[in-house]
Structure 1
């Protein structure tokens, strides 16, 4: 890199005990952009002091985070908010060096296996049964209770790797499959659940003005792929003492799904040492409102 002398001078001050001095040094280093990361990684490898290593790790994290903010803003401002790409951006919060090609290959394998079993004569319920059978039986995807002690449960590439995910991550994968297979099914807004509604082929949320339930064939639980009837959903509302609303049956936009994923993921970082990650994730979620 250019300005190597200045960078080396800044490196010698990373261990300064004065927090204000360190803050100034870290800001200058972050200002060099991602190109400085190899230098920082080399410094980390040749440093024995754990406190200095932590400071280096934080500077590297800030550099990756700045890139993620830029990429997420580009995704937000694009004409089409690709759900899979948005979910992979969330993965890069914790895994900034993630190579997406293996993930896309895994998803393509599942899509192709489902596609081979589909034909134009199947009913929507039969389509759902094929998709659920491939994902949850043949591919052995497991649904687990949503907990906040393992962030990997929210990262799509880790869900594919471990073949287990919570309701939201499995639901996102299910919707991605539906979109790639041109099945009109979307995650909806039912509180505390990740439910996918299978809509009539002519349903367009931008133009349809009648009762949305009339345009829904049935529902699928994103956790397990199990199908639910309208009566099942009505019973859920009764048990939860929640008044059904038309808004609950509208499809969530891709931006809102990714916003929810960021918000839920932030709940995994409540320890004092990780609170900065929680705030960063909530800031990323807020970016999608702008």
Structure 2
């Protein structure tokens, strides 16, 4: 694992106050593309923003700015979903998305938010269940927008999208949770953790352990308080037969969460790994 790249990523995500979400999201791809020129990708985004700014004047209202941004992003540049291969990891890597114009909701939203910011619009991300959204505050009110299409969604449409999630979690009837709870703006750290967890899911399902480790290392850095992420890194180390770091992570997990539901399972993993080290 190139420590230089991890040190760079660490430097980006240490503070919440100055959290360069776009740069950090671009930098995530360095685990899979070690020679990626992060600054070069940021320059490409800035070039798009410069082109966009030529269409804006000081008296362009926020709602007009939003319409100009949407037309530029979806119609002119042709950004949108990748219906043929929605779960390809490339749909999460910003440098690939800029090239192919295809992404998933969260990756497209990060680009839209960056371009919006550069023309004076405050577009924020919303970690809506199963589909990342964008939120824009205008004089006319709050708009919730689908990053795949730029469509504004009504309360009824959002509720319809939310209901299957509430059903699956058992949050219906007396326990029903209000829609607004799911529409709050997410912090850059929350957005990046969801961004990374999408990739974690993709690489886990494909059992691409080396790639998965690159993502998991970054989750541990991003969420230093989360012992579950340390446990997961240990389990990935074990898959790759990196026995010592696997043991260190799992033991740390048990020491910090001795009453965890999966504690006995993790102890079994540790016993197996310790048995392996004795055989050597």
- Tell me the TM-score range normalised by the shorter chain: 0.5 to 0.7
Within the candidate set 184, 188, 204, 1:254 is matched to 188
Aligned residue pairs: how many? Answer: 214
Within the candidate set 103, 108, 125, 1:165 is matched to 103
Residues 268/148 of structure 1: CA separation in 2 closer, same or farther (3 Å cut): farther
- Aligned residue number for residue 38 of structure 1: none
Residues 283/246 of structure 1: CA separation in 2 closer, same or farther (3 Å cut): farther
Instruction: Supply the distance in 1 between the matched residues of 2:20 and 2:81 (Cα, whole angstroms).
Output: 24
Q: Verify: 1:237 aligned to 2:162, yes or no.
A: yes
Q: Verify: 1:185 aligned to 2:123, yes or no.
A: yes
Q: Verify: 1:226 aligned to 2:151, yes or no.
A: yes
Give TM-score, length-normalised by structure 1.
0.65
Give TM-score, length-normalised by structure 2.
0.67
Q: What RMSD, in angstroms, separates the aligned Cα atoms of the two structures?
A: 2.6
Residues 101/74 of structure 1: CA separation in 2 closer, same or farther (3 Å cut): closer
Which structure has the larger Rg?
1
Ranges in structure 1 where 5+ consecutive residues have no aligned partner: 1-61, 202-214
Within the candidate set 276, 281, 286, 2:210 is matched to 276
Asked whether the equivalents of residues 81 and 254 of structure 1 are also in contact (C-alpha less than 8 Å), the reply is yes
Q: CA deviation at 1:259?
A: 1.3
Deviations 1:127-150 (A, max 9, x none): 222111101111122222595752
Instruction: Supply the distance in 1 between the matched residues of 2:181 and 2:217 (Cα, whole angstroms).
Output: 26
Residues 165/116 of structure 1: CA separation in 2 closer, same or farther (3 Å cut): same
Deviations 1:82-130 (A, max 9, x none): 1111111101111111123432232123212322223454444332221
What pairs up with 1:53-132 in 2 under 5 angstroms?
Answer: 62=1, 64=2, 66-78=3-15, 79-132=17-70
Residues 251/272 of structure 1: CA separation in 2 closer, same or farther (3 Å cut): closer
